[in-house]
């Protein structure tokens, strides 16, 4: 989005099950970057957590993003993801069969290094009381030096 006046931009998502019961929101980013950090992610566990890392490339050239998942046990899992020009890629961390099947029933952080400017955010969902994705949250990544 481009404006010649100051504006506020956000991304909101709402979901029904069967009625509208949950939502999350994140503020817009004024400047893309090549290094990002996400402090929190979870997968599995008693609430069947699922985390999604969203990589947006608003530029006109493709970018390659290297995601390093920082496990609480002290090891890392690395994934390299192409992000086409003017597109967004969603990297699912939801256990076996997801984009990062190495992570199961654990918490993690993520650093992202990209070959060109991108914007990063994280969506995370949990199930409770028999309701799939009963709760969710979203956070914009933090640009790193």
| pLDDT per residue as tens digits for the range 54-112 | 999 999 999 999 999 999 999 999 999 999 999 999 999 998 889 999 999 999 999 99
Q: Give yes or no for residue 131 having a pLDDT over 90.
A: no
pLDDT at 1: 63
* Residue 75, in any domain of the structure: yes
Unique residue bearing structure tokens 């709402």: 14
C-beta atoms surrounding 35 within 10 Å: 15
Q: Token pair of 37, please?
A: 């950090």
Overall number of domains in the chain: 1
Cα–Cα distance measured from residue 29 to residue 31, given in angstroms and rounded to the nearest whole number: 6
Whole-prediction pTM value?
Answer: 0.90
129 in any annotated domain: yes
Q: Which residues contact 101 (CB under 8 A, 6 or more apart)?
A: 95
DSSP assigned state of 141: P
Domain CATH number, residue 104: 2.60.290.11
Residue 124 lies in a domain: yes
- In this structure, is residue 102 part of a structural domain? yes
């Amino acid at each position: 989005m481009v404006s010649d006046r100051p504006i506020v931009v956000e991304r909101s998502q709402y979901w029904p099950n069967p009625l509208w019961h949950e939502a999350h929101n994140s503020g817009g980013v004024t400047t893309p970057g090549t290094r990002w950090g996400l402090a929190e992610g979870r997968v599995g566990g008693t609430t069947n957590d699922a985390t999604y890392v969203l990589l947006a490339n608003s530029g006109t050239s493709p970018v390659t993003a290297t995601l390093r998942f920082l496990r609480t046990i002290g090891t890392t899992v690395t994934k390299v993801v192409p992000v086409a020009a003017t597109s967004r890629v969603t990297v699912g961390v939801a256990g076996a069969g997801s984009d990062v099947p190495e992570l199961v029933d654990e918490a993690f952080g993520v650093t992202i290094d990209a070959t060109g400017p991108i914007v990063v955010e994280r969506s995370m969902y949990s199930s409770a009381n028999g309701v799939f994705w009963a709760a969710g949250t979203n956070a914009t990544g933090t640009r790193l030096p």
